[in-house]
A and B are shown apart, each in its own frame.
Chain A
Amino acid sequence: MADAARALPRRAPVAVRQQSGLDLWGRVVVVAGVAVAVYLIAAPLAMLLATALRGPVEFLPFEPGAQWTLENLVAVYTAPVLYQRIIPDTLVFVLGSVALSFTVGFTLAWLVERTDLPGREAWFTLILFPLLVPTIVLGIAWVFLMGPKAGWLNLALRALMGTSGEGPIDVFTMGGLIVCQALASVPFVFILLTAALRTMNPSLEEASGTSGASPLTTFRRVTVPVLLPGILAPLILVCLVTLEQYELPSIIGVPAEVNVFSYRILYELNPADGLPNYGGAAAVALPFLVLGIALLAVYNIVVRRAEKFVTVTGKAYIQRRLPLGRWRVPALVFVGLYVVMGALLPAAILVWASLLGYVPPSLAALKTASFAAYHRLFADPNFWLALRNTVIVAGASALIISLVGGLLGWTLLRLRFPGRTALDFFSFMSIGIPSVIAGLAVMLLYLTIPIGIYGTFMILIVAYSYRLAVSTRLAKAGLMQLHRELEEASAASGARWMSTQLRIVLPLLRASLFSSFVLLFIVGVREFTLPLILNGPDNIVLSVLLWKVFQNGDAPQAAALATLIIALVIPVVALARRALMRAGG
């Protein structure tokens, strides 16, 4: 018996392995990478926290004369506007648009992924359109479409109903804002849910069937419980993304007198009367920062539970598709309606308005078409500056995030060190920071640190680069696919750490890093809130320029610029998609 007991291996967990071959250079690079990552996220947030506690308002937070005070917090948290307007409006806006976008997004995902809906590929591309173009572009298009007086849809509906005056649709209401935000968020939900539906192992459902369960029972007892984490995770993410929205709340929400917190922060920075109130803005930001990070913590728990399910293998299965039968036409109408409102009509009205101005569609109007708006745009040096800045900032930040985030991903996955879990969550937290708060925090930081990047495009690169989590996650996923013996074999062949990284890890992670770069480049081009908050004389980007042109009431030029932005983004996406296919992604 003694032998039997001895034969039981006293086994160390296989994951516990030595950090192989981390020599001096390796240490330097890893420590530097972690330090940059921590700085990019933590320094602005620390400054934000400090600023909330500095006053009075006449001074910059750390100017001589400013001091520690609670007056910002007291002012913000005792003001009735927070409880009567900001919190309720934010909640209604977020919950309303999340509920709507989730319902629509889930239906679309299910129709495209699990039924025999015709034209699946084309729908897939069209549904994703709103995710690719800046939301500000869509917002302007929807105002053109649903403006109570001259919106195309209203003109058409009034003509149909034989009424006159305004309406019947008024986009400038809470309802209008919710619908528009939902239209904008649907593709985000859609892409996450199709992934969840696609990676569900169909044999799980088949096993239930062969166990004698009816299709309905299978759906209830297997499909839903198995998919639940896959549904919950996107639900939480879309809450987060909606919470940080500023574009539509500013274009549509302000005329509708909807007062969400992101707008409030910008209002504190540019009040109608007097000086920017940095402390007040920081104080408004704090609870929403906490809310964002709390949502992210919940997301983490949900995902970890989901990972326990064998279904989440990342492997795509060939799914049995449900025949739609007589539901085919209603389903097509539903998908078509979304695509018309989310992609086709916005694109059409922008092109139209850029050529003809903001006039109702008619054959007579066609004669007045001209490229004047484009000529004016091309003659404007600001356009070229904005174009240059957009490409540089989006490109440079995507590069920084991909490299630093990738290095961080390697560090988190391959090394064991105290505080690893904390660092993992910390880097992941960057997703939970609403961009309006990130922008404010970066602004406060470089207002205080005199390194002269405030108001330049450099500050935008630094600000955009806080979103490390995207590439950290992608790099980790890529690394998990790589057997670690591939790296050990390099060390055992006599290669130093640096050689291993450059000759083995980097080439093998090419696809992950490239997709992270492309994704972040598109995110960078779409970015609006950060460059708006950090706007200086020389660092205007296309989305901010568009907003300014629109605010000036120059509809044709705004439409022309919006059209150009779409024309810029679509080829990038198409090229990236082809390159990714070739890279075997």
Chain B
Amino acid sequence: MASDSKEDNVLYLMVVGLFGWLVPGGGHLIIGKNKHAIIIFVTIVLTFGIGLYIGSVGVINYVNAKPWFLAQLMNSPAVIALAQISKTGGYSVYARPSEIGQIYTSVAGLLNLLCIVNAVYWAHLRRIKTVGD
């Protein structure tokens, strides 16, 4: 019984984390923190969008900029589709726009990672509280 409850808890936390990755703010939405979810969604999508606008879709490059791509991937799985578009389209970007674009898109991804961890942590705290009651 206790084992089932523990497994349920782990599954719930994984779902929260997964939703947080699928859509920025999704994890917070699941745990009922709607204001947090909206703020996170708008901020991260805007930051990522600004990065793409400055550097073009060419800043998502999993061949020549793997470390940056790993950080960008934290935004959403949709980044994989953008990477495919970038690879097949031959969008080249150099110098300052490339740097700024990569920094914006990667920082957006790392901020989303922070939000995913935060949503999972709050979900865990809530579960502990519920079980305690």
Check if A and B associate.
no
